[in-house]
Structure 1
Amino acid sequence: MSVFNDWLSEDEDDIFMGSPKSKFFDVSRTASEDIVNEEWDKVIEKVAILELMLSEGKGEDFEINQVIKQYLFDNEEKVNAVKKGLYVEFTGEIICRLDS
């Protein structure tokens, strides 16, 4: 697992001549629009589920965006590492669908 963590922490331009984020957008621009739209729908669905789970039982005054901002402030390094991993995951999902 340490190789994976080292890979995610590489400089932005060391991995495949760009960052996981830049590779995701490169792939998404060249893939079929239908495939990319379906993958984005999955991402939005996941965010909706996570928002519902986080806000469940909190009442109408619960400000989810404030909780998210505070969490990012407290955990920015961990959040950025997970973001890179998600870019890799989503890029892989799009690439895998290109062959089907």
Structure 2
Amino acid sequence: MASYDALFEDENDIFGGTPESKYWDIVKQVSPDIARDEFDSIIAKMAAMEQMLMEQHDEEELDKIIDRHIFANASTIETRKKSLYMEYAGRLIYKLSD
């Protein structure tokens, strides 16, 4: 998994916006089929991770564990979200060039 920490030094100046805003700008530029396929791959990845974690914890407990982890690690989670937005934006851009 890539880390794009160096790009976040000035969050409001990254390519003219935040990683989140740039991702959504790019989604608006790709065909609905590409956006849908990429979103489906994100959901499939989440489903696989959730299934793996549910082998250790039941669903209700897992939700609580995740919420506590997000609360306790808000800064690192926020940085990871930005990296993921950049990664998925890059995947969309790559699909545009196909």
TM-score by length of 1: 0.86
Which structure: larger Rg?
Answer: 1
Unaligned stretches of 5+ residues in structure 1:
none
Report matched runs for 1:29-68 at 5 Å. 29-58=28-57, 60=58, 62-68=60-66
Contact 1:55 1:62 in 2 (8 A): no
Q: Give the distance between the partners of 1:22 and 1:62, measured in 2 at CA.
A: 32
Contact 2:23 2:85 in 1 (8 A): yes
Q: CA deviation at 1:61?
A: 6.8
Q: Give the distance between the partners of 1:53 and 1:40, measured in 2 at CA.
A: 20
Q: Give the distance between the partners of 2:79 and 2:32, measured in 1 at CA.
A: 28
TM-score by length of 2: 0.88
Identity of paired residues, percent? 37
Give the equivalent residue in structure 2 for 1:6: 6
The structure where helix makes up a greater share of residues is 2
**1:94 has 2:92 as partner:** yes
Q: CA deviation at 1:53?
A: 1.1
Task: Supply the AA of the counterpart residue of 1:87.
Answer: Y
Give the equivalent residue in structure 2 for 1:70: 68
Unaligned stretches of 5+ residues in structure 2:
none
Q: Give the distance between the partners of 1:40 and 1:57, measured in 2 at CA.
A: 26
> Any idea what SS the aligned residue of 2:69 has?
helix
Change (3 A) 1:55 1:27: same
> Any idea what SS the aligned residue of 1:15 has?
helix
